[in-house]
Structure 1
Amino acid sequence: MRIDHIAYRVKDRYKTSKFFIDALGYGIGTEFQIEFDDGSKADCVALTPPEDRPVDTEEWDVLLADAPEPYLNDDVIFHGYHCPSEIFVSDGPDGSIVGDWVVARGGIGGVHHIAYQVDDVEAKMNEWKEKGYAEFLSESPLTCPGLEQVFTKPSELTGIIYELIRRKGKGFCVENVKALMESTSDVETDEK
């Protein structure tokens, strides 16, 4: 398991994206707008990490000479997973799902959810349900070509949403992002 992406809801996606681009070397991946049934909108941008991201669970070889002290052992190669997570940034006007979320958090916003890449979304979802780790926003994972994902309700421990995701490619599915935003609007309004 590793972090797939971190999603922020912010007041100004351009300023926030510029920070990640200038300070950490991210690049702009895709930009899109989501229109909701009530006429409100959310504008979104996916930022790509400065490193090339391995496909699914491709391993990165790391010489142990470059590893922290506890892992040093001659010239053995350590197979590890590099984690250049994508960053997803969205904003929206006052009265929109995203805009109201930002206002409820002092007008700044913050981390909305963290997505963890897993091998089997449904199995991990069932495990979390059985162990009482989380309640989910849907009864089964959301799917679209090359993507399967499910979202928890905001955690009682951290206040954020966790996403379990399995990818067979790159990018985000606009329909699933819209479904997440719509499914959390009532939950997040209750938190205010």
Structure 2
Amino acid sequence: MRIDHIAYRVRDRFETARFFTEGFGYTIDPELPDGFEIKFDDGSTAKCLVLLPPEKLKSGIPWDIPGGDGLEYHMAPEIFISDGQNHSVVEEWVASKNGGIGGVHHIAYQVESVEAKMKEFKEKGLMEFTTDEPIRCEGLTQVFTKPTPFTGIIYEFIEREKHGFCQDSVKFLMESTRDLK
């Protein structure tokens, strides 16, 4: 298990991205230079950016991703930044945190099996989850925990067959946190 990404929900995703690019050497994912938008069923929206860390590996990867041969891997963690509009789940969460600044929403851990981790953590009584089953999208399986009583943080377990984010699963994950404060 390793940290896959850290997700921030903030007022202004581009200002937050500038902080990470200028201060820490991250870059905005060149495949998504303007990010992407999530449209919720209630008409609200969230906009997202993916930032890549400055360190990269082309070989000697200490973890195995099926079908990943020949790909370039970045060193964890990626940073995922979102802001929201029109009373979206993201905008409401930001408004309730740190005087409206927002902050770390969750920390994601890459695991071999999301289902196995869910079962293990439930049996140990360590975490509750926002959904009964993992959320699946091509090449990704994911689930969020509710904020834990130990750290107050939401955690994500993510099982990857390839790199990237799936907009549909991001939408479902965000919606699963609507009632969490």
Report the TM range for the smaller structure's normalisation. 0.7 to 0.9
Separation in 2, partners of 1:91, 1:173:
17
Which 5+ residue runs of structure 1 have no aligned equivalent? 61-81
Q: 1:63-89 CA distances to partner (integer Å, 9 max, x unpaired)?
A: xxxxxxxxxxxxxxxxxxx94310000
Equivalent position of 1:168 in the other structure: 161
8 Å CA contact 1:2, 1:83 repeated in 2: no
Distance change >3 Å, CA 161–CA 175, structure 1 → 2: same
Letter in 1 for 2:27: G
Separation in 2, partners of 1:168, 1:119:
10
Question: Helix, strand or coil: the match of 1:116?
Answer: strand
Q: Are 2:146 and 1:153 equivalent residues in the alignment?
A: yes
Equivalent position of 1:4 in the other structure: 4
Structure whose CA Rg is larger: 1
Q: Are 2:45 and 1:41 equivalent residues in the alignment?
A: yes
Q: Are 2:173 and 1:180 equivalent residues in the alignment?
A: yes
| Aligned positions of 1:43-122 closer than 5 A | 43-53=47-57, 58-59=61-62, 83-93=75-85, 95-105=87-97, 106-122=99-115
Separation in 2, partners of 1:158, 1:16:
23
Which 5+ residue runs of structure 2 have no aligned equivalent? 64-73
Question: Helix, strand or coil: the match of 2:151?
Answer: coil
CA displacement at 1:164 relative to structure 2? 0.7
Separation in 1, partners of 2:21, 2:170:
22
CA displacement at 1:135 relative to structure 2? 0.5
Compare 5-14 and 174-183 and name the one that shifted more.
Answer: 174-183
Letter in 2 for 1:150: V
Letter in 2 for 1:12: D
CA displacement at 1:143 relative to structure 2? 1.2
Question: Helix, strand or coil: the match of 1:166?
Answer: strand
8 Å CA contact 1:147, 1:167 repeated in 2: yes
8 Å CA contact 2:45, 2:86 repeated in 1: no
RMSD over aligned Cα, in angstroms? 1.9
Aligned length: 166
* Structure in which a larger fraction of residues adopt helix: 1
Distance change >3 Å, CA 84–CA 138, structure 1 → 2: same
Length-normalised TM-score, structure 1: 0.81
Separation in 2, partners of 1:114, 1:83:
15
Separation in 1, partners of 2:127, 2:76:
26
Moved runs in structure 1, 4+ residues, more than 2 A? none
CA displacement at 1:54 relative to structure 2? 6.3
Compare 86-95 and 122-131 and name the one that shifted more.
Answer: 86-95
Q: Are 2:16 and 1:16 equivalent residues in the alignment?
A: yes
Length-normalised TM-score, structure 2: 0.86
CA displacement at 1:58 relative to structure 2? 2.3
